[in-house]
Amino acid sequence: MIDTAKNTKWIKACSTSDVPESSGACVLLEGEQIAIFNFTTTGKWYATQNLCPHKMQMALSRGMIGDLNSEPKVACPFHKKNFSLNTGECLSGDDYQIKTYEVKVENDLVYVLV
């Protein structure tokens, strides 16, 4: 489905079984690497860019997820910068931001709004 007002559309990213519990996986959508996270402790799914803006490495899908003061976050596996899975804000006090995407799950398939 395409939202013509925003020029966005839901794209099938993967199966729910492709993303490990309480972890992430990387998919290529519309030419961009997207990190998809299965946050099983809350039962929610998140998607962000895979590129860590700190050292410009495609690594966020391999980062540890958790929460920081009740904010769901991912930590870059190389540099330990923490990013909000809701807003993309850097929670480590640095002036970095990552892109976040809406996610929905239907019939064991994960969709991302891009």
Whether residue 107 is predicted with pLDDT greater than 90 in this model: the reply is yes
Domains and CATH numbers, the chain: 2-113 (2.102.10.10)
pLDDT given at position 4: 46
* Per-residue pLDDT tens over the stretch 40-86: 989 999 999 999 999 899 999 999 999 999 999 999 999 899 999 99
Percentage, residues of the chain above pLDDT 90: 89
- Using 50, 70 and 90 to split pLDDT, how confident is the model at 7? confident
Question: Which amino acid, one-letter code, is at 13?
Answer: A
| Strands 82-84, 32-39: pairing kind | unpaired
pTM of this prediction? 0.91
**Cβ neighbours for 57, distance < 8 A, ≥ 6 positions apart:** 51, 76, 78
